[in-house]
């Protein structure tokens, strides 16, 4: 089976009962993650989650099938497998899994750097026991609508203006938006049975303790090759105790946004004209245009693909080494910043000396 982002909501319940392998791909990693979580919530017995990395499956492709079929072969508690991959890392593992007739537990693959035309997607799209869905970066209106849906489910009466404010503040990432909605519900003691209206003051109140933890300056310094700003921003991260995984998610969202813009830009496109059009369509916040303009000139083609792969590897490393996450993140961001700085210096020198 194959679904678009628009179709997914209507197909999710049936797919959760019918399919055993789910492949969520595209530049909107938050959308892919939300979709996978939705499927898990619809499973009759989700059981424990077994997490695997695509890089590990690429080295040992038989492992996925062994893990997925262990319940059927030996009994035991229910489970589902969650794979975080880059590109077609899981292709061989998926092929081995579906070629074996033994029933398996649900396998959910969330992958960046892949599309619904990738090799893994082609393995699954025509099968009735699989689902492939690609997620493009959403616009402000789409995320705002999702925020209102979350709010309704949490017992919050939320107007469209505040929903847009939450969506924009979360960088159009529905995972962070959901966190804000959860905080609001707790703050207002709201539940579906006892709904509460949300005011702008309420949103100000829950955001007051973290409003200085703005990720944008560091994201723009690192990805924009602003050498002088990187050190001070990393120090601010340390001094304020900013959560490393939350900060890395901000970089992942920006990389996904750059990938989407690159796809629309094509070869030889006009960056300025593209960003003006995107801002007019409310897919880009107008204040972000200068930073995105600079970053689009740095992160193109293979370099952008390497950036995405590097961020995915960093994410996996942080999750596996929580005690050293701050140090690992700082080191990774410095490596990315050096690449961006070298590009800026190269283009500056080329302009100065034609």
pTM as predicted:
0.56
* CA angle in degrees (0–180, nearest 5) for 9-248-301: 80
Best CA proximity match to 263, nearest among 308, 221, 218, 226: 308
Alpha helices for the chain (secondary structure H): 5-18, 29-42, 54-59, 62-74, 91-99, 119-124, 140-154, 160-169, 174-188, 200-207, 216-223, 227-240, 244-265, 271-280, 289-298, 301-320, 325-352
Burial status of residue 179 (CB atoms within 10 A of its CB: 0-12, 13-18, 19 or more): middle
Provide the residue-wise pLDDT of the chain in tens; the chain has 354 residues.
Answer: 999 888 898 999 999 999 999 999 987 877 888 899 999 999 988 888 888 988 889 999 999 988 888 764 445 558 899 998 888 999 999 999 998 877 888 999 998 778 899 999 999 999 999 999 998 877 788 888 989 999 999 999 999 889 988 887 776 777 778 888 888 888 889 999 999 999 988 887 776 444 334 688 899 999 998 888 988 988 888 887 777 877 888 888 888 888 888 888 777 778 888 888 887 877 777 788 899 999 999 998 888 888 988 888 888 787 777 778 888 899 999 999 998 888 776 665 555 444
Q: Which residue(s) pair with 45 in the sheet?
A: none
Determine the straight-line distance between the first and last CA of the chain, rounded to whole angstroms: 54
Cα–Cα distance between 162 and 127 in angstroms, integer? 42
* CA angle in degrees (0–180, nearest 5) for 4-25-64: 125
């Amino acid at each position: 089976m194959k679904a678009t982002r628009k179709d997914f909501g209507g197909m999710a319940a049936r797919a959760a009962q019918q399919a055993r392998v789910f492949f969520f791909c595209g530049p909107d990693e938050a959308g892919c993650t939300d979709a996978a979580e939705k499927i898990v919530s619809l499973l009759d017995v989700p059981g424990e989650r077994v997490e695997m990395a695509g890089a590990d499956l690429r080295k040992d492709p038989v492992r996925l099938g062994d893990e997925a079929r262990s319940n059927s072969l030996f009994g035991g508690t229910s489970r589902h497998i969650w794979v975080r991959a880059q590109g077609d890392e899981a292709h061989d593992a998926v092929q081995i899994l579906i070629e074996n007739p033994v029933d398996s537990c649900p396998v959910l693959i969330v992958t960046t750097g892949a599309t619904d035309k990738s090799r893994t997607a082609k393995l699954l799209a025509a099968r009735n026991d699989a689902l492939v869905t690609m997620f493009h970066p959403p616009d402000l209106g789409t995320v705002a609508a999702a925020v209102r849906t979350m709010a309704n489910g949490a017992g919050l009466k939320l107007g469209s203006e505040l929903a847009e404010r939450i969506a924009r503040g979360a960088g159009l990432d529905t995972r962070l938006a959901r966190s804000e909605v959860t905080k609001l519900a707790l703050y207002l003691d709201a539940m579906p049975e006892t709904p509460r209206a949300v005011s702008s003051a309420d949103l100000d109140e829950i955001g007051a303790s973290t409003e200085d933890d703005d990720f944008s300056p560091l994201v723009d310094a690192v990805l924009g090759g602003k050498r002088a700003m990187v050190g001070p921003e990393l120090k601010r991260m340390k001094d304020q105790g900013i959560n490393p995984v939350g900060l890395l998610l901000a970089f992942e969202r920006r990389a996904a946004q750059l990938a989407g813009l690159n796809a629309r830009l094509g070869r030889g496109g006009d960056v300025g004209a593209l960003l003006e059009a995107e801002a007019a369509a409310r897919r880009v916040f107008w204040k972000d245009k200068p930073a995105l303009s600079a970053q689009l000139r740095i992160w193109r083609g293979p370099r952008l693909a390497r950036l995405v792969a590097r961020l995915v590897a960093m994410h996996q490393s942080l999750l596996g080494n929580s005690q050293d996450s701050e140090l690992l993140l700082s080191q990774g961001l410095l490596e990315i910043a050096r690449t961006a700085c070298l590009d800026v210096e190269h283009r500056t020198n080329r302009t100065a000396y034609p």
